[in-house]
């Protein structure tokens, strides 16, 4: 068994963007109750989150934006057409970012093998100075910046398997060669970024990997994309820390998405993440992003956690790319000046 930490807190459930909003408190309620009923609570190490400091938030966000979000403390405010606060949202967002940072500290420091921040609000759409797409602060970008700037981690790889492209995360590290950002996402779709040609800024080409997908991709397509593109990149890049923006809106039953993943499929993706982090002794920190089929999302999170614990060892050898063959070839061609995909 590995030592896997989870960040949980009742405050995350108090962030309420309003009735009928898909990013509902029920998402985490269901996940937390799965931890009880599945017996996982006995196997996991509970990590109590702390509130991030304003300077930690400003590792990624502008001070004016931080103050704008802070001004929503105790009130309901619309930050963006999709993104609203309730009185507890600012504090929940500060605790979410702080909890994720805490996990990074513990995993990098060796107290934990890996960890999953079961937090909300999510983060990957949040820009430097703008709330977007249900996201207030960009938790995963803050983690990467904290790791490189404050912990001296030399290379961080972020894999974003959420249905949507993580525009905020990509923009945070567009010009950086020490933080590699790779995303699979339905395209064209919200938020509109993440075209094949989005490969990073001048001097950082190849350190952004955009894998835009047609609808209909399922377990075998995702597993094949990860093994054909992300594994060779990771083995060349040798990240010292792997971060995962884990959205579960690629489930076949998700009300916002057009993909066909099953809960078991995410266990395979997690096993592949651990392979990609092998040069980093498996140091992986996962942050919850989207996912709107509340019941099946909890089942998918269970699969991921069991793989992180080494309680479940799914077969990752299936190599049938199915409908993903053409996008795999296109991404390999687009990135061929930077990475070697021949094996
Ligand atoms: Zn999403």
- What's the CATH code of the domain at 128? 3.40.800.20
| Residues facing 183 on adjacent strands | 160, 210
Residue 125 CA to ligand 1 center (angstroms) comes to 9
> Is residue 342 one of the residues assigned to a domain?
no
- Nearest of 107, 58, 95 to residue 274 by alpha carbon: 107
> Is residue 341 one of the residues assigned to a domain?
no
The single residue of 15, 124, 125, 146 carrying the catalytic annotation is 125
> Is residue 339 one of the residues assigned to a domain?
no
Residue 317 has a pLDDT of 87
Q: How far apart are CA 26 and CA 32, in angstroms?
A: 10
Query: Which residues have C-beta under 5 Å from ligand 1, the single-atom ion?
Result: 162-164, 247, 249, 290
Residue 261 has a pLDDT of 98
> Is residue 52 one of the residues assigned to a domain?
yes
Residue 319 has a pLDDT of 77
**Structural domain that includes position 309:** 4-334
Residue 164 has a pLDDT of 98
Residue 56 CA to ligand 1 center (angstroms) comes to 24
Q: Pick out the chain residues at pLDDT < 50.
A: none
> Is residue 187 one of the residues assigned to a domain?
yes
Residue 272 CA to ligand 1 center (angstroms) comes to 21
> Is residue 272 one of the residues assigned to a domain?
yes
Domain count, the chain: 1
Q: What are the phi and psi torsion angles at 46 (to 5°)?
A: -75, 130
Work out whether strand 45-47 and strand 78-80 pair parallel, antiparallel, or are unpaired: unpaired
Map tokens 């999170």 to a residue: 301
Q: How far apart are CA 91 and CA 140, in angstroms?
A: 17
> Is residue 340 one of the residues assigned to a domain?
no
Residue 135 CA to ligand 1 center (angstroms) comes to 10
Residue 343 has a pLDDT of 66
Residue 222 CA to ligand 1 center (angstroms) comes to 16
Our answer to whether residue 125 is catalytic in this structure is yes
């Amino acid at each position: 068994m590995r030592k896997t930490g989870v960040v949980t807190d009742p405050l995350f459930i108090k962030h309420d963007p309003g009735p009928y909003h898909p990013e509902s408190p029920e998402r985490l309620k269901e996940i937390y109750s799965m931890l009880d009923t599945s017996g996982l609570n006995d196997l996991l190490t509970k990590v109590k989150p702390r509130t991030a400091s304003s300077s930690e938030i400003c590792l990624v966000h502008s001070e004016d934006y931080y103050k704008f979000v802070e001004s929503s403390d105790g009130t309901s405010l619309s930050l963006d057409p999709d993104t609203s606060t309730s009185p507890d949202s600012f504090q929940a967002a500060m605790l979410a970012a702080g909890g994720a940072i805490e996990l990074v500290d513990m995993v990098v420091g060796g107290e934990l093998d890996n960890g999953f921040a079961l937090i909300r609000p999510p983060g990957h759409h949040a820009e430097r100075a703008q709330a977007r797409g249900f996201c207030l602060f960009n938790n995963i970008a803050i983690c990467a910046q904290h790791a490189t700037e404050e912990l001296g981690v030399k290379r961080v790889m972020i894999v974003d398997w959420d249905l949507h492209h993580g525009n905020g995360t990509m923009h945070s590290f567009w010009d950086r060669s020490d933080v590699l950002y790779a995303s699979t996402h339905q395209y064209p779709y919200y938020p509109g970024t993440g075209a094949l040609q989005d490969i990073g800024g001048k001097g950082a080409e190849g350190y952004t990997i955009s894998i835009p997908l047609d609808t209909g991709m399922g377990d075998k397509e995702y597993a094949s994309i990860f093994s054909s593109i992300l594994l060779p990149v990771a083995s060349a890049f040798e990240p010292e820390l792997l971060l995962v923006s884990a959205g579960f809106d690629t489930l076949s039953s998700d009300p916002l998405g057009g993909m066909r993943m099953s809960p078991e499929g995410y266990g395979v993706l997690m096993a592949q993440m651990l392979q990609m982090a092998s040069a980093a002794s498996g140091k992986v920190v996962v942050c919850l992003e989207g996912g709107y089929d509340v019941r099946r999302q909890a089942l998918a999170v269970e699969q991921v956690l069991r793989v992180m614990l080494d309680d479940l060892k799914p077969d990752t050898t299936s190599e049938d790319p199915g409908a993903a063959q053409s996008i795999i070839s296109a991404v390999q061609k687009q990135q061929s000046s930077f990475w070697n995909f021949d094996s």
